[in-house]
Structures are given as C-alpha cells and as structure tokens.
Chain A
Amino acid sequence: MAVPRRPQPSTFTLALLKPASSALPPLRAIQKVIKKDKLQEKEGASESSISEERLAQEAEEAKRKSEDEEAAAKERAAQRQLLAIEELVQSERNYLRLLQLTTFTTRSNLQQLQPPPANLDSMFLYIEEVIDVSSRLLSLLDQKQIQPGDPLFLETLCDSFLSLSSDIEAAYREYLANYSNITLVENSYKEKEALWNDIIKVIKTSVPDVNATSLTFFLVMPVQRIARYPLLLQTIQKHTDPTHPAYELLEKTAHTSVALNVHINEYKRFREVADKYKKTEPLSIKDKINRLNTHSIAKKTARLSQQIKHETGITPKLVDEEFDALEGLFNVLERGILDLLENVETYLHHLQTFLACKTEEFDFDMDGEKAPICYKEIATALRQWILPTFEKRMQTLIHKPLCALRDLLVGPRNLIRKRLHKLLDYEMIEAKSNLSYEEQDVANTYRTINTLLLNELPQFNGLALQMMWSMLGTFNCLHRDLATDMEQLFQSFAQQLPHSSLDHNAFWVWAESEVLEGARRLETLCQSVEETLNAPVVQPLSPSSQCRLKQLTDKHGSGKIYQVAGPVVGTRDLDLNLAKGELVAVISEIDTRGDKKRWLVDAGGRRGYAPSSKLMRYHQPTEGPPPSPHLTLPEGVTGFRRHSYTPETRPLTHPFFQVLAAYDFTGRGKHEVSVRAGEPIRVLEPHDKRGNPEWSLVEVRGGKKGYVPSNYLTVMPMGMAPPSSPYR
C-alpha cells in the first residue's frame, strides 16, 4: 500500500488490515496511532523547559510541532479518506459478490427443490439491473487502473458515480418499489414450515461463509446499499481537504447520492398510492353496503356537497387547465380505443362467418367443366390458407394488442377518478391554516396523485396514441398483403377461362344475357312439365255414377258436385260413409257448430257430413254445365214446338267460327239429340219453334238432328283444337 509522500514524524507504519466487511478495525488502529502520536508529542513538550533560549526554541519547536500536528492531522485525514474510499470500493465488491451468489447459485438451487417454491421468480425480479449497474460502476473504476491512494482515484470514483447516477436511480427505484412484494412472498414461504426449512438449508449450502437465516438477508442488501452511498460519500468528504482537487466533484457526488435517495423514496410513495387506488375491485351490492359506515358516508356526502357547490357556483372551482387538457385527451383516447376495438371485433366476426360458409364444397357432378373447377380451386385456396393467415395476423397484430391496451386504460381511469375525490376533500380543508394529522394526510394524498398524474399521463397518452396509429398502419398493411395474395391467386386462373379475352364491360353484358337466356329456358321447361304432367286423368263414369251425377246435378247444380278422393268413414252421428270416387253434392260448407272442415253433402238420397279434405271438386271434362233449361219449361209446350221445324238449313256457321258443344247433353225425348262435349255442331236454328232462344236446333255428325240447349253450345275461332277429351 502506498503511503502519502510527506515527511513522517513517526516511524511506524499504518497497520492496514485486510479488507473486511467491517470498517471498525482500521479505525481503531488509527485511533491508537493518533493517541500514541499525541502522547509522544506531549512527552516532547514536557521535556522542554524554562530557559528563554528554550522559549524561542520552544516557540520554534511549537511552531514546528503545530506544523507537524497539522501535517499529522492532514495525514490522518488522508488516511481516513483513503480508508473511507477503500471501504466504499471494497464493500461494493462484497455486496456485488453476495448479490450475484444469491441470484445465480441460491436461486438455481431453490428452483431444484421439489416442489419449487411458488412465485420464486418474483423475488428476483429487478435484481439483475441492480447487479448490472453495480458491476458497471466497479468496472469503470477498475478500467482506470489507479490505486485508491492516488487523488485521481477519487476523481474517477466521483465521475463514474455521477455518470451512472441516472441508471442507478432507475434500477434501484424499481427494486425498492417491488421490495414489499418480496417480503410478502417470503412470509408466505415462512408459513409452510417444511418448505422454510428446506430453503434455509439451501441458503446455508449456497452461501456458506455468511450466516444467513432468510432470503431477505440477501435481498434487502440493495435497499441498505442505496441508503449507504450518501453516508460513505459524506465520510469521504469529511476527511477530504477542501483544497483537494476532487473536492467539488466529491461534494457534488455526495449531493447526488442524497438526491437519488429522495427520488427513490418519492417514487416508492407514488407507487404505493397508485397501487392503492388503481385497481377496481368488483364489488357486489352486498359488499358495497357492508363497506358503508359512518366515516365513509360522511366522506362521500362531503364530497357530493362540494361538487354541488361547484356546479351551482357557490364555491369557485379549482380549475387546473393543464390537468383538464390531459384528462380531456385521455377521455378522447379511451373513446377511440374502445370504438376501434369494437369495430375490429365486428370485422373479425364477419370474417369468421365468411370462412364458415364453404361455397367450394358443392358437387354438381360437373367435374369435367373448367369454370367450376377453377372456382373450386380458387375458393379452396382462399378459405384454406389465404384468409386464415390474414385472420391470424389480424388477431395477433391488432386484436390482442388492442385488448391489452383497453385493459391498461382501467388504471389511469381509476386514478383520475380518485384524484377528483381527493381534490374535493382537499378543497374543503385547503383554507385551514392549522391542519390536523389526518387532514395533512389527505392533502398529501391529493398532491401525490395530482403530481403523479401530471407527470405520467402525458407519456401514457402519447404512447397509447402511437400504439393506435401503428395498429391502423398494420391494418392497412395486412389489407395490402391480402390484396396482393388474392391478385396472384386470381391471375393464375384468369387465363384459363374461355371468356377471359373479353374486357370488363363486355364480359358482364355477355354474362347477363346468358343468365337471362338460361332463365327463359328454365321457364319453358317448367311450363311444359306442368302442362303435360299435371293434367288430371278423367275417368269415364260407371252408369250408376252417371245416374248419380245427373241426379245430383239436377238437384243441386253442377257447381256443387264433388268427388270423394278417398274412403270416408263417418265417426260421429250424421257422418256419412263414402267410397272413393263417389260423387256427392255439397249442400253446406259449414256444419251446425261452425266447423268449416265438415261439409253437409248429399250422396244421392243420403245426407250427412263428410270431411272437406276428402272432397275434390268434380270437374266434368269441361266446366260444369249451367243448369239445363229443362227445368223451367213445361213438357207440353216443348212437345208442341218440336213437331214443327223447318228443314231449312241456315248457314249459321260463321266462316271463321266453329260452333261446338261445350258440354255433354243427353237428349231425353225424341226431339232432342245427344251431343258430347267438344263435338262440332251445325246449328240449324238458334231457337225453337216457339222462338224460345233457349233451345237450338242443331245437326250433329251422323246427320242426326234435334234440339239442344243453346247455352250448351259454344263458339270458337276456327283452327283452334277443341278442348281435349281423353276418349273418343
């Protein structure tokens, strides 16, 4: 060890002990030295005596001695300073060593415990930064390769400390803010005895030279260290001569270290306040009611009254424009983020719907055709990989970050709200000059939150805004990539299609005309199918059925004739049993109770009820004939008329029209002739002998002449086929 180059009054050397964790032994040695020194000086002084010569000599000696004393004092100071510097450096080294041991050895050993202790990593959360900054400090010192005795060493020390001060602050402040978590976790370990014993064993084996009884023994070291820097630096300063070249720097360093501590404490306080108010606990109404007590009710009513006073203008509102601007921006951001998230979720929902309906999975048995195959391939490519990739990218790059951002908004929102509450509280006591302890606390809380928000909110706003914009940029990039992919896909197929040569508009004209053509063809097909296949078969009636038909038609009119579609079994009284194909006439379409599905029918004598679902209107080959005029004319008159008729044939057939019989008519007497529906007829006279136009004299094929009711005849333009009759 180099010794300061000064004339040494004493011959002994400083017994410098080996570096140890405690600084006491060297100090004691120095003290001993100093005592010895003084003793020797005193001895020297008492030996000198009374004579004048001696006085001058004494004075000289005294002067020399005082010089010597000064020198000695200076040297002692220098030595102390050196020791102090040494202490700082050595303790730093030791501290670093222990920290590293803890972090690497102890931690890995603890992790190997079965089962590993819970939350182990949270105890070592910020320690790495602390180790980092500490080792950087030491390496800066070692780089210069100067010995601590050299005055330059002090300068280097101060410089390195100052240069690293911001980093030191950052690293330690996180660590300190997190320290309460560490103690919490360790307490949870202590609760489990077996685990705790294991942990202690591990600690003892990992770091044997230190008698530690808990993890916090090591983990508390950074907390102690940062508070120690000011002490160490001040000790050095105390022992440093103000004329020392590095004195100012040292002073500055000492101040910096004190300032560091102040900042770190303030930060810790901020964090505590923030943690307290940031979280919203989901409280049920019951919990909320339980929480009410006189104190909280008093608090809340006081706040409410203050707010009302503001709104009504009784008390002036403390307007903090800066804060209001920040809050305004925050609100706007919040709104924007929530809207964006909602819209993005809608977008993704629709995308997923699109992916779900797989239009490529159809099978028209058209596998020989190019167009459907191309389409299938395109659609498959889209749905199997292009769009799923797009969806996944959207999820990870946009949706997830947005969700995280939205969750982050909760904290500031709560703090802003709490600040308002505290502001109201604060305003009420602001005017008072003598604040009680609780009131001071309230005031402090308000100020803390306010400062916190004023500091942090701008940065938060800025970062959130940036995130939003970058997400929008990503959105657009994703779309662009998707579009490029799709373009490639389609281009590869476009050449294969037959009409690819047509330009855009021409193609659509062609496509639409084709579609119309196809529709038209479909319609004709439909119609032809309907016509030919849906004509119902008309069965010829058995004679008994014909009788029945006539009877019913006579009685009720042909409009009411129905045919039974299936066998009817009557269940209630007055119900009829009918066979399939029977002809009945409907008398009433409703029964006595109002049931419209039960019709009163006449089945040739029998009357009763039948279900309307089994009755089908009976269409005679043509529409039911109108009532025959037979009923209205008395027999004799008819007979008289019929005996005279002129054989004259009137060419009543219009050259362009053909008269046909519209309905079957069976002649009942000799003067009437039977005609069948659709039969072409020649009308001889459009009235009978008496001039009654209801009867016409006609001639049928085969030459038969006779009377036929006029309204049974119809006129059709020539050339049209008569209504088809399935027989004869």
Chain B
Amino acid sequence: MSWIPFKIGQPKKQIVSKTVERDFEREYDKLQKLEDQTKKLHKDMKKSTEADLAMSKAAVKISADLLSNPLCEQDQAFLESMAALDTAMRRMDAFNQEKVNQIQKTVIDPLKKYSGVFPSLNMAVKRREQALQDYKRLQSKVEKYEEKEKTGPIMVKLHQAREELRPVREDFEAKNKQLLDEMPKFYHSRIDYFHPSFEALIRAQLHVAVQLPAAAQKGTKAAFVVSLRLRCHESCPAAVSGTHRLACPPVQMLMN
C-alpha cells in the first residue's frame, strides 16, 4: 500500500523474536543490578575497612599521647599502667591491621576486578545493539527493494542490498548468541567467585575477635590496679570520704 504515506500502521516484521529479546533484556537487567550491587559493596567495604583501621589507630593515639604526657614521669605506678594500656592498644591495632590486609587481598581486590568486567560487557551489549540497528536498517532496505517492481536496476540494487545484509546479519547473530551464552554464565559465576571472599571476611574477623579479649584483659588489669592505688593516694582525701556533696565543696568552689 504505497499510497499510504505513514508506515505506522504496518506491522513490522520482527527480526528478532520477542522472546529472545525479552530473555536478553532479562539477563542484561540482572547483570546491571549485579554491577550496581558490586560497586556499592566495594565502596562500602573500602570505607568500612578504612574506618576500622582509623579507629584502632585512634585508640593507639589515646594511649600513646598519655604515655608521652609528663604525668607519667611523676608516678611509677601510672607509668606502668599506662605502658600496659599502650601495649594492649598496639596489639589490638596490629591484629586489626593484619585483618584489614587480608580483607584487602581476598575481598576488596576481587570485588574491584569483578566490577572491571562490566564495562567490556556493556560495550559488547552496545555493539550488539548497534549491529541490531544496522541489521534492521539493511533488512528494511532489502524489503523495500523486494516490494518494488522487478526491473533491472532494482534487481541489481536488491542483490547488492542482500549482499550487504548478509555479513551484518551474521555478525549480529554471532554477537547475540555469544552474549546470550556468556551473560548467564557470568552471572552464575558470581557464586563461585565470591564464595571464598565471604568466607575470608568472616574468618578474618573471627580471628581478631578471638584474640582481642586476651589483649584487652591485660589492659583492664593494669587500669584496675591504678584506680586502686589512687584510692589510697594521699593527694585526694576527698575521694575517700563517703558523701559526695561534702567531699566536693572545695572542688565545687573552683568548679562552680
């Protein structure tokens, strides 16, 4: 119906069947979601390990600063307990550092590599899309020629168009097939790929969690000793007396 100027009403011959297209879309959507989640997890992991390390470094700084404070020079007991606390903090920091290194190797780097695959996959999908467009274009050209009267020049053009179409179609189909093969495989591979990462994550933290209580215990003992000694310390008789209010008036005077 060549007199109809618009082509909207005409049913388009489907080059790629709807089911195939839908499958492709579905697979691709899954991959896109996986990509987003991988990126997010990578970012969160990185930030959380950095914060974790910063925390233990801050704890070390607490004890180190106090150790360098001249207060320690005055009293031997303080010096000892401060040194014990410092050792405890440093040990905890060492464990933490080790844990972070292990996580870096077994979790954060693999996550990054996994995210690195997605750009080329996306590019491949784009190429496939381009190939599909070319295919569709040439296909419609061929159909256009096919509908015309079979005159000589038309036949030549038709033949030429068909020649042009063939490699494009083959290319598209190759790309399509490959992607339809690879995408589900890649999606499925995430399970095996990430399995060791998660185990490593748990195991690393477990290892630290087991070691920490012992380290912290030593620090507590030292601090407890200090506070006991302070109770007997002569410089604060106020601490000995019972009533809070009565003990604090002299201090209150300064404090109020």
Residue of A nearest to B170 (CB): A726
B253 with A497: CB separation less than 8 A: no
Determine the distance from Cα of A5 to Cα of B4 in the docked complex, in whole angstroms: 146
Indicate if B132 sits at the interface (CB-CB under 8 A).
Answer: no
Determine the distance from Cα of A462 to Cα of B147 in the docked complex, in whole angstroms: 104
Contacts of A460 in B (CB 8 A): 250-251, 254-255
Indicate if A136 sits at the interface (CB-CB under 8 A).
Answer: no
Interface SS majority for chain B: helix
Indicate if A519 sits at the interface (CB-CB under 8 A).
Answer: yes
Smallest beta-carbon distance B157→chain A, Å: 10
Determine the distance from Cα of A690 to Cα of B200 in the docked complex, in whole angstroms: 75
Indicate if B94 sits at the interface (CB-CB under 8 A).
Answer: no
Indicate if A645 sits at the interface (CB-CB under 8 A).
Answer: no
Indicate if B175 sits at the interface (CB-CB under 8 A).
Answer: yes
Q: Which of B117, B124, B198 contacts A534 (CB 8 A)?
A: B124
Contacts of A369 in B (CB 8 A): 191, 195, 198
Determine the distance from Cα of A508 to Cα of B107 in the docked complex, in whole angstroms: 12
Residue of B nearest to A502 (CB): B203
Contacts of A344 in B (CB 8 A): 62
B71 with A465: CB separation less than 8 A: yes
Determine the distance from Cα of A270 to Cα of B254 in the docked complex, in whole angstroms: 10
Indicate if B37 sits at the interface (CB-CB under 8 A).
Answer: yes
A497 with B203: CB separation less than 8 A: yes
Indicate if B45 sits at the interface (CB-CB under 8 A).
Answer: yes
Residue of B nearest to A373 (CB): B198
Contacts of B235 in A (CB 8 A): 458-459, 461-462, 465
Contacts of B197 in A (CB 8 A): 515
Determine the distance from Cα of A460 to Cα of B131 in the docked complex, in whole angstroms: 83
Knowing A375-B202, A476-B216, the reply to whether A459 touches B251 (Cβ < 8 A) is yes
Contacts of A518 in B (CB 8 A): 110, 192-193, 196
Indicate if A657 sits at the interface (CB-CB under 8 A).
Answer: no
B205 with A532: CB separation less than 8 A: no
- Contact flags B187-223 to A (C-beta < 8 A → 1, else 0): 0011111111111111101110110110111011011
Knowing A344-B62, A483-B213, A534-B123, the reply to whether A362 touches B40 (Cβ < 8 A) is yes
Chain A's interface size range is 35 or more
A354 with B224: CB separation less than 8 A: no
Pick the most buried of B190, B224, B254: most chain A CB atoms within 10 A of its CB: B254
Contacts of B78 in A (CB 8 A): 469
* Chain A, range 358-388, C-beta contacts under 8 Å to B: 358-359, 361-366, 369, 371-372, 374-375, 378
Knowing A371-B198, A459-B236, A529-B124, the reply to whether A343 touches B168 (Cβ < 8 A) is no
* Chain A, range 462-482, C-beta contacts under 8 Å to B: 462-463, 465-466, 469-470, 472-473, 475-477, 479-480, 482
Determine the distance from Cα of A358 to Cα of B203 in the docked complex, in whole angstroms: 19
Indicate if A208 sits at the interface (CB-CB under 8 A).
Answer: no
B213 with A469: CB separation less than 8 A: no
Smallest beta-carbon distance B122→chain A, Å: 10
Contacts of B123 in A (CB 8 A): 533-534
Contacts of A533 in B (CB 8 A): 123-124, 127-128, 175, 178-179
Smallest beta-carbon distance A107→chain B, Å: 20
Determine the distance from Cα of A173 to Cα of B106 in the docked complex, in whole angstroms: 69
Determine the distance from Cα of A499 to Cα of B219 in the docked complex, in whole angstroms: 33
Indicate if B164 sits at the interface (CB-CB under 8 A).
Answer: yes
Contacts of B16 in A (CB 8 A): none
A270 with B117: CB separation less than 8 A: no
Indicate if B238 sits at the interface (CB-CB under 8 A).
Answer: yes
* Chain B, range 139-179, C-beta contacts under 8 Å to A: 160, 163-164, 167-168, 170-171, 174-175, 178-179
Contacts of B61 in A (CB 8 A): 343, 346
Smallest beta-carbon distance B37→chain A, Å: 5
Q: Which of B40, B113, B236 contacts A519 (CB 8 A)?
A: B113
Of B7-15, B19-27, B225-233, the stretch lying at the interface with chain A is: B225-233
A532 with B178: CB separation less than 8 A: yes
Q: Which of A366, A477, A494, A525 contacts B117 (CB 8 A)?
A: A525
A515 with B196: CB separation less than 8 A: yes
B62 with A378: CB separation less than 8 A: no
Smallest beta-carbon distance A397→chain B, Å: 13
Indicate if B5 sits at the interface (CB-CB under 8 A).
Answer: no
Contacts of A340 in B (CB 8 A): 62, 65-66
Q: Which of A335, A343, A490 contacts B209 (CB 8 A)?
A: A490
Q: Which of A452, A489, A511, A519 contacts B199 (CB 8 A)?
A: A511
Contacts of A365 in B (CB 8 A): 30, 33-34
Indicate if A486 sits at the interface (CB-CB under 8 A).
Answer: yes
Determine the distance from Cα of A244 to Cα of B114 in the docked complex, in whole angstroms: 104
Residue of B nearest to A129 (CB): B245
Contacts of A472 in B (CB 8 A): 62, 66, 85, 223, 226
Smallest beta-carbon distance B66→chain A, Å: 6
Contacts of A519 in B (CB 8 A): 110, 113
Smallest beta-carbon distance B241→chain A, Å: 11
Smallest beta-carbon distance B164→chain A, Å: 6
- Contact flags A92-123 to B (C-beta < 8 A → 1, else 0): 00000000000000000000000000000000
A347 with B251: CB separation less than 8 A: no
Indicate if A487 sits at the interface (CB-CB under 8 A).
Answer: yes
Indicate if A138 sits at the interface (CB-CB under 8 A).
Answer: no
Contacts of B254 in A (CB 8 A): 274, 278, 408, 411-412, 415, 456-457, 460
Knowing A353-B51, A476-B216, A525-B186, the reply to whether A469 touches B223 (Cβ < 8 A) is yes
Knowing A480-B216, A526-B120, A534-B124, the reply to whether A332 touches B205 (Cβ < 8 A) is no
Smallest beta-carbon distance A466→chain B, Å: 5
Indicate if A350 sits at the interface (CB-CB under 8 A).
Answer: yes
* Chain B, range 28-51, C-beta contacts under 8 Å to A: 30, 33-34, 37-38, 40-41, 43-45, 47-48, 51
Smallest beta-carbon distance A289→chain B, Å: 31
Indicate if B121 sits at the interface (CB-CB under 8 A).
Answer: yes
Residue of B nearest to A376 (CB): B198
Of A537-545, A567-575, A636-644, A665-673, the stretch lying at the interface with chain B is: A537-545
Indicate if A351 sits at the interface (CB-CB under 8 A).
Answer: yes
Contacts of B113 in A (CB 8 A): 519, 522
Indicate if A491 sits at the interface (CB-CB under 8 A).
Answer: yes
B236 with A463: CB separation less than 8 A: yes
Smallest beta-carbon distance B194→chain A, Å: 7
Contacts of A483 in B (CB 8 A): 209, 212-213, 215-216
B44 with A504: CB separation less than 8 A: no
Smallest beta-carbon distance B220→chain A, Å: 5
Residue of A nearest to B211 (CB): A483
Determine the distance from Cα of A408 to Cα of B248 in the docked complex, in whole angstroms: 13
Smallest beta-carbon distance B133→chain A, Å: 12
Smallest beta-carbon distance A542→chain B, Å: 7
Indicate if B83 sits at the interface (CB-CB under 8 A).
Answer: no
Residue of B nearest to A496 (CB): B202
Pick the most buried of A278, A462, A726: most chain B CB atoms within 10 A of its CB: A462
Smallest beta-carbon distance A133→chain B, Å: 12
A529 with B250: CB separation less than 8 A: no
Contacts of B205 in A (CB 8 A): 378, 486, 490
A476 with B178: CB separation less than 8 A: no
Determine the distance from Cα of A263 to Cα of B256 in the docked complex, in whole angstroms: 20
Indicate if B70 sits at the interface (CB-CB under 8 A).
Answer: yes
Residue of A nearest to B215 (CB): A483
Indicate if A336 sits at the interface (CB-CB under 8 A).
Answer: yes
Indicate if B184 sits at the interface (CB-CB under 8 A).
Answer: no
B131 with A514: CB separation less than 8 A: no
A372 with B194: CB separation less than 8 A: yes
B213 with A480: CB separation less than 8 A: yes
Smallest beta-carbon distance A706→chain B, Å: 27
Contacts of B44 in A (CB 8 A): 357-359, 361-362
A-B contact pairs, 6 of them (CB 8 A): A362-B37, A469-B226, A469-B227, A470-B227, A475-B62, A490-B205
- 7 more contacts with CB within 8 A, not counting A494-B202, A515-B105, are A354-B52, A359-B44, A362-B41, A364-B38, A469-B223, A479-B216, A510-B196
Q: Which 10 pairs of residues, A with B, have the shortest CB-CB distance?
A: A473-B223, A462-B236, A483-B212, A371-B198, A354-B51, A462-B235, A514-B196, A480-B216, A347-B58, A533-B124
